[in-house]
Amino acid sequence: MCRRSNGKRAGAESSGERGACGSGWPGRPVDTGWLIARWAAVVAALNRAMELGYVANPAAWKLRALADDVDDSGETAVFLDPAQRKAIIATASPFAALFFRGLELTGARPKELSVALVADFNGQTLRLAHRKGRPAKLRTRHVVLGAEGLEFFKRQADEKEPGAYLLTEDGQTPWRRHIWAREMRAAIAKHNEDAKGKNRVSPGASAYSFRHARISELLQVYHVDPLTVAAQTGTSLVMIERAYLRFIPSALQEKLAALEI
């Protein structure tokens, strides 16, 4: 039984003297530090079980979010497979569909793509920029686009002035966070009206999920090396190694095997 130093039961304390024990029983005070310590242990155990493949469906955990890849609400991005991304784009409003497609083709952060100008697209690459660090510094990169990406952005830049936004909410207004979030929720809800089972899209998915999917697939499906992925998506090699370390050695072994005589 948990007691205070004066010998009285912890449950007998006044409401202003919460603290020592945290049993969780009705009528007894709860020590938040006690709960937090045990919650962290549970989370650590679940993460370890996932890494060791002890979960019922290991395939569901193959693609993990990068440590610095969180959406605008602070939640880790939900992974969307190709079919889910296609479904969201198909049910989204016309302007939102273009914005989501642009995210899918570049792996950009929504904020980056929302302010990209026609002048940022040179016909081969797309210049993207974001601020990071303390103090925040502007970091720019030039994303190399595939054939589909080139065609897509050529259409968005066609007959627009260099200073115009490539993608907008309504033809003029640059995308704002609450608007793309609203459009994403609406597209998911519309798709889920008729979708069943695995075809349904998690309501927790966000516009950031398109970036997460791009990074994940560049590494694990298309086997692009981590250094190139980091440079193209504006994240760090350290963050990629933390999330995808178990995939990197096998890819390196395959390359070394090809060099053996």
240-256 residue pLDDT tens: 777 655 555 555 556 66
The per-residue pLDDT for 238 is 79
129-186 residue pLDDT tens: 987 767 767 789 999 999 999 999 999 999 999 999 999 999 999 999 999 999 999 9
- The residue among 82, 133, 134, 132 whose CA lies nearest residue 109 is 132
Mean pLDDT of 15-26: 45
Q: For 15, phi and psi rounded to 5 degrees? A: -65, -20
Q: How far is CA 140 from CA 108, 116, 127, 130, in A?
A: 12, 11, 7, 7
- Return the SS3 of 229: helix
What domains can you pick out in the chain, each with its CATH number?
Answer: 10-60 (no CATH), 62-259 (1.10.443.10)
Instruction: State the pTM of this model.
Output: 0.67
- Long-range Cβ contacts of 84-92 (<8 Å, 24+ apart): 84/201, 84/205, 85/210, 85/213, 87/191, 87/195, 87/199, 87/201, 88/184, 88/187, 88/188, 88/191, 88/201, 88/205, 89/187, 90/191, 91/187, 91/190, 91/191, 92/183, 92/184, 92/186, 92/187
Pick the range with the lowest mean pLDDT from 34-43, 77-86, 92-101, 129-138. 34-43
By percentage, how much of the chain surpasses pLDDT 90? 45
- Distance of alpha carbon 200 from alpha carbon 178, whole angstroms: 23
Tokens standing for residue 145: 């686009």
Element (H, E) at 137: strand 137-144
- Distance of alpha carbon 179 from alpha carbon 207, whole angstroms: 11
For every residue of 154-165, DSSP letters joined together read HHHHTT--TTSB
Tokens standing for residue 16: 């202003």
CB 101 within 8 A of CB 152: yes
CA torsion 160-165-169-174 (nearest 10°) is: -150
Torsion-angle region of 260 (φ positive above 0: left; ψ -120 to 50: alpha; else: beta): beta
- Distance of alpha carbon 249 from alpha carbon 145, whole angstroms: 27
Tokens standing for residue 251: 């890819």
CB 68 within 8 A of CB 239: yes
CB 71 within 8 A of CB 106: no
